[in-house]
Structure formats: C-alpha cells, structure tokens
C-alpha cells in the first residue's frame, strides 16, 4: 500500500523521511513545543532519527500513520500529524499533532486535523478517533472542542514526562458526529 499523501488549501501532508530529521529535531528540541506533548524535549539529533524511523515502522506494521506538514507557500516543514494506536479491526485510532511555534494560532492545525479526520472516517472506515491532552494545554483542548471532539474524562497520572506523572484529558469524536460537524 502506498503512503496516503494529502493536500489541503495551505498544506501538503507527506511521508516523513530522513530528509525531514533536522526539521523535526528543530521543532521537538524546543521546550515550548514539548511542554504539553507527553515526551521529553529532544536533546540530540539521533533521538529525532529514531523517532522518524519509528514513524516508518509503525506505518509498515499498520499501527499508525504520521504525516509531515509542509506549508505550500514556503515548502517549509512546520510539524507533524498522525493517527496513533491505529486499529483497523476495532475501527479506532488516536490523533496527535505538533507544530513549530511560528505557525501556532494560524489555522494550520485545524486544517490538518480536518484532512486527517476525513481520511480516517471516509477512507479508512474508522468509527472513533480519540485524543489525549494535558489539561493546561488550553489551545489544544479548545481546538479539539471546536472540531467537535467531546471530552470523555480525566485520566489521572496518564502521561509521564520530565520525571513526573501528569493527568490527561481524553477526547473523542465518532464518525457520525464528524459527519454533522464537518458539514457546518
């Protein structure tokens, strides 16, 4: 199966390769990006290499799909978005994303999530997409709610980052909810 490339008004969603390692490292080595990410800030390029390799392994094993976000106007790599814990059999996955801070609050995440939800529900035939966020990550919580995700609850001590456990909000959206939300 060939990698599912996607296009939005302002973004190309591409397969992440070793060519993107330096750009990925430049994003994930910023504490402001990883503060609410559930992963420690990257300190070495080799860490980014291993993560990029894991994206390909997860795709090959059908456990996930991770896209690089390329801004069309500048051809700049600005972040990633992906379906994690993908189960075609159980018709579910979790969505995750991060952007370079220069591209926050400009609608890029909304655009990318919209594209991936359409792909997940209409092309993969999934029924449920979940998301997990830090309660203090107000921007991500608001973004998910704006897109029609419903908060299901709080997972206590769910994320381990920076040598401590953190609570997490859990959200989900079902295919039937997306159909009515995306039509607005």
DSSP at 40:
P
Terminal CA-to-CA distance of the chain, rounded, Å? 33
Nearest to 166 by CA among 178, 158, 177: 158
Looking at the chain, how many residues does it have?
184
Nearest to 65 by CA among 45, 91, 39, 93: 93
Q: Which domains does the chain have, with CATH numbers?
A: 6-182 (3.40.630.30)
E-only strand ranges, 19-111 = 65-71, 76-87, 92-99
CA distance 32 to 122: 34
pLDDT digit string (tens) for the chain, length 184 residues: 699 999 999 999 999 999 999 999 999 999 999 998 888 999 999 999 999 999 999 999 999 999 999 999 999 999 999 999 999 999 999 999 999 999 999 999 999 999 999 999 999 999 999 999 999 999 999 999 999 999 999 999 999 988 889 999 999 999 999 988 775 5
């Amino acid at each position: 199966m060939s990698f599912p490339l996607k296009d939005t008004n302002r973004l190309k969603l591409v397969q992440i390769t070793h060519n993107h390692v330096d750009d990925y490292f430049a994003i994930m080595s910023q504490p402001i990006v990883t503060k609410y990410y559930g992963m420690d800030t990257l300190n070495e390029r080799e860490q980014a290499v291993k993560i990029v390799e894991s994206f390909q392994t997860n795709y090959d094993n059908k456990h996930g799909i991770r896209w690089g976000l390329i801004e069309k106007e500048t051809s700049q790599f600005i972040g990633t978005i992906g379906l994690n814990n993908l189960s075609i059999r159980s018709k579910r996955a979790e969505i995750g994303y991060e952007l370079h801070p220069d591209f926050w609050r400009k609608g890029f995440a909304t655009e990318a999530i919209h594209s991936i939800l359409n792909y997940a529900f209409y092309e993969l035939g999934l029924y449920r997409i979940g998301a997990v966020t830090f309660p203090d990550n107000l921007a991500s919580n608001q973004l998910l709610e704006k897109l029609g995700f419903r908060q299901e609850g709080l997972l206590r001590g769910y994320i381990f980052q920076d040598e401590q456990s953190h609570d997490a909000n859990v959200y989900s959206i079902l295919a039937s909810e997306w159909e009515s939300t995306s039509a607005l």
